Amino acid sequence: MMRCDDISEVLGAWLDGQLRQSDAEEIRAHVAGCPSCGEERRQLEGLQKALRATFQSASTTIVFESFWRGVERRIHQKRSWYEDVRRWVRDFWAPPQMAWSVPIAIILLLLGMFTVESFLPGLRPRESRNNFAAVDSIDAFGRNVAVLRLQSGDMRGALAPFARLANQR
């Protein structure tokens, strides 16, 4: 035996004839004896009648011939490849797609800046790594002596005045 909650869930399917014969007979018997389910059935039937009347009256005023002719024309219309490319470019630059182009351009620019050196190592000048310059102070026999040690060739040119100064003392 089905309860009213179960009946209300399948009442629309029963009115549409979508249930098995045994279930439909059980629901028909319940609806015939239950006043609340009977009222719900009458409301659904009234809704169905109103929808049918609306769709039938609206469908007679709509002219579908011109619509279907346009659909057929677009299906059979031959376009050249450059029209497809032009349409793609035009659609790409439409406002919703343009919103994505700015972040994408920034990301590509940043990726390019950080990866171009790994693919083309001599493209932009880069400071040499592991540059090392040290000044050691040695006190031998009461005299102060400064020794400048350079490890990188790039640093030698930059520190040449200091090296000459150290050699003069």
- Does residue 92 lie in a domain region? yes
- Judged by average pLDDT, the poorest of 102-106, 113-117, 145-149 is 145-149
Same domain for 94 and 137: no
- 7-11, 31-35, 45-49, 138-142: range with lowest mean pLDDT: 138-142
- Residue 68 and residue 138 in one domain: no
| Residue 125 included in any domain | no
Could you tell me the two tokens for 58? 């609206």
Domain containing residue 142: 133-168
Say if CB 50 and CB 43 are below 8 A apart. Answer: no
Question: Is residue 127 situated within a structural domain?
Answer: no
Single residue among 45, 74, 98 that ends a domain in this structure: 98
Q: How many domains does the chain have?
A: 2
Task: Using the predicted structure, report yes or no on whether residue 73 has a pLDDT greater than 80.
Answer: yes
Least Cα distance to 31 among 55, 15, 50 occurs for 15
Cβ(135)–Cβ(166) below 8 Å: yes
Do the domain assignments include residue 106?
no
The answer to whether residue 112 scores a pLDDT higher than 60 is yes
Among 48, 83, 98, residue at a domain's last position: 98
Whole-model pTM: value is: 0.35
* Dist CA 168 CA 15 (whole Å): 111
